[in-house]
Amino acid sequence: VGKIPTETVVSAWANMLLAQRLALSSIERALKGAALPPLAWYDALWEIERAGAPGVRPFELERRIRLAQYNLSRLLDRLQRAGYVKRAASRDDGRGHVVAITASGRELRRRMWSVYAPAIQEAIGERLSPAEVKALDRLLRALVRHSAGAGGDG
Amino acid sequence: VGKIPTETVVSAWANMLLAQRLALSSIERALKGAALPPLAWYDALWEIERAGAPGVRPFELERRIRLAQYNLSRLLDRLQRAGYVKRAASRDDGRGHVVAITASGRELRRRMWSVYAPAIQEAIGERLSPAEVKALDRLLRALVRHSAGAGGDG
DNA sequence: AAAGATTGATGGATCAATCTTA
DNA sequence: TAAGATTGATCCATCAATCTTT
């Protein structure tokens, strides 16, 4: 039997949904306005770029960006078709492969950040004082920390 | 030219994305586990129920739950087909209509809440102290407040 | 049998165009 | 012309099934 949340807990949840929806839609609008791909591409490219030259296994990516396996599979298809990543058979494990970013992928990631970063600043940085941002970061971190184990999508 | 966010601003944003993704997927999992429809149905039913007997215009709903017009139009189609809402021509305005909840719609909303509420408690209430929840609510409210005007989806 | 990954089918979200009345 | 609302086409997300290698 689950416990009932207080009014404040429900309010915090509702405001989190709303705040994120507002921020996300303004960020996506900014990206589209600059003729750039959606945010999901950024997340994937960023993690793949961080993995460097050896590349990264899809199942690793899956955990880092919290995307279901089949979902990631098709996102990688699109990124590959557009020339932003390359797939190569894994030496260690015959079942899988490794994904690496290309030069144009790095370039796209950089261009996306030049739009994404100011949009984050506008949605968060300009609406709270530095101390408030720090407090918010701390509270959200606490929410994430305790659920490290729990599933993402699958 | 947009300003660059600080590290803390970016961190807060990333943790917000992650925290919400984790909470949402556990909530959706709980609903599915109880053979109930997705969260979007709850939001719509709740606002329609709040509107009471006279019903509510879709363009009003659109603003309250922040859903694009075409998106809402199809969600209402599904709710209507399932018998949870009714549409009727508007007396005041020949262009539009009003939407009202049915008895089985109210019943579904109530059943969904009995799963949704404990899931919110688990995701937020049990991970922060009451004082922390209050602080989080206040900060998120500030993020929302300043963007009251800005667009939702369309 | 389980892990890594993909695929066919289906439903939902989005864009652009459309329709009706204000 | 603009507001309220819907629809056809298309793209993405999701489910279930499948394939290969461990």
The residue of chain A with its CA nearest to that of B64 is A18
Reading the block at residue B39, the tokens are 């969260």
Encode pLDDT of B73-113 as tens digits: 999 999 999 999 999 999 999 999 999 999 999 999 999 99
Who contacts B140 (Cβ-Cβ below 8 Å, separation ≥6)? A12, A15, A16, A18, A19, A136
Encode pLDDT of A11-43 as tens digits: 999 999 999 999 999 999 999 999 999 999 999
Contact flag B143-A127 (C-beta cutoff 8 Å) = yes
Distance A10 CA to C17 C1' (A): 40
Which pLDDT value is given to residue A154?
A: 41
Residue A117 CB-density burial (10 A; 0-12 exposed, 13-18 middle, 19+ buried): middle
Which pLDDT value is given to residue B146?
A: 76
Share of chain A above pLDDT 90, in %: 92
User: Distance between CA atoms of A143 and B139, rounded to whole angstroms?
Assistant: 15
Distance A90 CA to D22 C1' (A): 14
The residue of chain B with its CA nearest to that of A12 is B137
A-chain residues near B111 (CB < 8 A): none
Q: What is the pTM of this model?
A: 0.92
What is the rounded average pLDDT of the residues B24-47? 95
Instruction: Give me Rg for the CA atoms of chain A.
Output: 18
Encode pLDDT of A68-91 as tens digits: 999 999 999 999 999 999 999 999
Mean pLDDT over each residue of chain A, to the nearest integer: 94
Q: Is the CB of B70 under 7 A from strand C?
A: yes
Which pLDDT value is given to residue B2?
A: 74
User: Distance between CA atoms of B121 and A87, rounded to whole angstroms?
Assistant: 42
Contact flag B13-A66 (C-beta cutoff 8 Å) = no
